[in-house]
Amino acid sequence: MSNVLIGIIGVILFIGLALAGALLLGDDFKSANNDTKAASIVQGLVQTASAVAMSNIKTGAPRNAEVLSTSTTLIPRFLKAAPVNPVTDTVNMMLVDAAGAGTSSNPAIGAVTLLGVATNAEARAVCDSIQRQSGQIAPTDAFQSTARTTAPSSWLTNYGCFQAAAGFYAYHKI
């Protein structure tokens, strides 16, 4: 009889510890997911920017601003595959010129991806994580929601994230 009571007490303690752990560490697990998505987006932007830089060197001509797709001429010579944005689960990278235009005959100087619309909580959390990783804001600072233009002249760091009227954008300079 005492073994049964000890077993029941053990199960109750185990459930209590599991609930306490979930309650105390729940936010850490949520932020870890956002940090992982942010790192994946930054890596995709870095690969795209590196592919454009290599294309500029190998072809001797600067790459123009364009919206990247799975059929871009960067693939397969300079980029194995078009990076997929884990927030939107799509290939939505674009190369922008100095004015921030995604389609022009001007040279591309940055890679940009849309994380989501301004009301998307996940896109905001991932953008916040990218801002912290890039050093745009300190680890304890609040999210910088100041609307900026998509013009690369307003990019303060080599890579980062900003909020514009249409939504949240991650970027990397080429």
Alpha-carbon Rg for the chain, nearest whole angstrom, is 22
Number of folded domains that form the chain: 1
Q: Which residues of 141-153 are buried (b: 16+ CB within 10 A; e: fewer)?
A: eebbeeeeebebe
Over residues 119-150, the pLDDT tens digits come to 878 888 888 888 787 777 766 777 666 655 55
Residues β-bridged to residue 14 = none
Indicate the pTM of the whole model.
0.72
Tell whether 17 is covered by a domain: no
And the tokens for 164? 């514009």
User: Is the distance from CB of 113 to CB of 92 less than 8 angstroms?
Assistant: yes
- Domain extent for 128: 30-173
Over residues 53-95, the pLDDT tens digits come to 888 888 877 887 778 776 677 778 777 877 878 777 777 788 8
Tell whether 118 is covered by a domain: yes
User: Pick the residue with more confidence: 5 or 40?
Assistant: 40
Tell whether 6 is covered by a domain: no
Tell whether 10 is covered by a domain: no
